[in-house]
């Protein structure tokens, strides 16, 4: 039985009552993978993490995190587009800046951990006052994972795009980053498009970045300052009772679900066609 490891979930109803405030009219704040985020400045211990930053095909500036970071018990907002600015997102290190963005979609946590575990993600539209960056504290993301001919995400339309196909079990490694630094480990399972790996994380790292270790590239080490780079492979999901315990929602699942939803509602899905920013 899967145990949800990130218990720091907030009611969207509560979020809606928090005054969003206006972001300062200045540019230059970088938003990047590995940034810790809040949904209310009044609860700084209830945080999650950004997994990837980029643009969608409609010109929206997007950050991606974990859907289970929010809870909507009334079902008012979960699993649907949220065009209104009712759910602000803040940089945990600088909440006084004001919102860095607003939640546009998230999958309800009850579903994400059970029958809809393949769709545990959140889409945040970033405000114009921030600068997108591919460089996090430890990981630089170089585009998205593309796997020609691989096993397709269960969320994929047919035919699946290369970016909607999964990394192979047993001979691919994830490199992940969070509060305890940077870790890497072999992908041991891909059931439902969810990667299981010994690469470690902690509560609060939900939504944080995972990249594919490109064969021949440097792994993080003391010699290189614990830095690594690679294509975006997924986001931190859960700690479970299975071994190894650490789960990651694949980028293939997220990108495939965005495309599938966009096929039903063309032009209305924030994040559709997402590509990681090339900004340094």
- For the domain with range 139-256, which CATH number is right: 1.10.287, 2.40.10, 2.60.120, 3.90.25? 2.40.10
Decide if 251 contacts 190 (C-beta within 8 A).
Answer: no
What pLDDT is stored for residue 84 in this prediction? 96
65 DSSP β-pair partners: 122
DSSP state, residue 198? S
Angstrom distance (rounded) from CA 187 to CA 199: 9
Task: Report the candidate in 152, 105, 118, 122 with the shortest Cα–Cα distance to residue 265.
Answer: 105
User: What sign for the dihedral angle of Cα 39, 80, 56, 217?
Assistant: positive
What pLDDT is stored for residue 117 in this prediction? 82
244 upstream amide cis, omega within 30 of 0: yes
Which pLDDT tens digit goes with each residue over 116-139?
588 999 999 999 999 999 999 999
Decide if 68 contacts 113 (C-beta within 8 A).
Answer: yes
Answer yes or no: is pLDDT of 146 > 60. Answer: yes
Query: Is the full-model pTM beyond 0.95?
Result: no
Q: Where are the domains of the chain?
A: 10-132, 139-256
Structure tokens at 269: 């899905």
Decide if 175 contacts 182 (C-beta within 8 A).
Answer: yes
Decide if 272 contacts 258 (C-beta within 8 A).
Answer: yes
Task: Report the candidate in 190, 178, 193 with the shortest Cα–Cα distance to residue 49.
Answer: 178
Task: Report the candidate in 147, 236, 139, 155 with the shortest Cα–Cα distance to residue 195.
Answer: 236
Which pLDDT tens digit goes with each residue over 193-250?
999 999 999 999 999 999 999 999 999 999 999 999 999 999 999 999 999 999 999 9
Q: What is the mean pLDDT of residues 29-54?
A: 97
- The SS3 of residue 251 is helix
Q: What is the mean pLDDT of residues 62-70?
A: 97
Task: Report the candidate in 210, 275, 214 with the shortest Cα–Cα distance to residue 249.
Answer: 210
Structure tokens at 169: 């079990």
Structure tokens at 113: 């951990």
């Amino acid at each position: 039985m899967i145990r949800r490891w990130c218990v720091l979930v907030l009611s969207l109803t509560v979020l809606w009552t928090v005054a969003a405030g206006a972001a300062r009219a200045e540019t230059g704040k970088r938003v990047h993978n590995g940034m810790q985020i809040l949904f209310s400045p009044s609860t700084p211990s209830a945080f999650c993490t950004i997994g990837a930053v980029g643009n969608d095909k409609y010109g929206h500036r997007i950050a991606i995190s974990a859907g289970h970071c929010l809870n909507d018990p009334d079902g008012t907002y979960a699993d649907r587009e949220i065009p209104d600015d009712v759910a602000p997102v803040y940089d945990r290190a600088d909440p006084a800046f004001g919102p860095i963005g607003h939640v546009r979609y998230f999958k309800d946590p009850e579903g994400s951990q059970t029958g809809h575990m393949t769709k545990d993600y959140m889409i945040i539209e970033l405000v114009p006052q921030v600068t997108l960056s591919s460089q996090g504290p430890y990981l630089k993301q170089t585009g998205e994972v593309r796997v020609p001919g691989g096993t397709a995400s269960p969320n994929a339309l047919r035919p699946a795009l290369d970016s909607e196909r999964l990394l192979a079990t047993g001979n691919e490694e994830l490199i992940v980053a969070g509060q305890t630094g940077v870790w890497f480990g072999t992908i041991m399972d891909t059931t439902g498009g969810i990667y299981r790996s010994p690469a470690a994380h902690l509560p609060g790292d939900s939504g944080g970045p995972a990249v594919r270790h490109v064969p021949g590239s440097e792994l993080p080490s003391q010699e290189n300052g614990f830095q690594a780079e690679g294509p975006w492979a997924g986001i931190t999901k859960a700690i479970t009772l299975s071994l190894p315990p650490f789960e990651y929602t694949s980028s293939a699942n997220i990108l495939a679900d965005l495309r599938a939803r966009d096929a039903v509602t063309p032009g209305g899905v924030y994040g559709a066609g997402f590509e990681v920013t090339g900004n340094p």
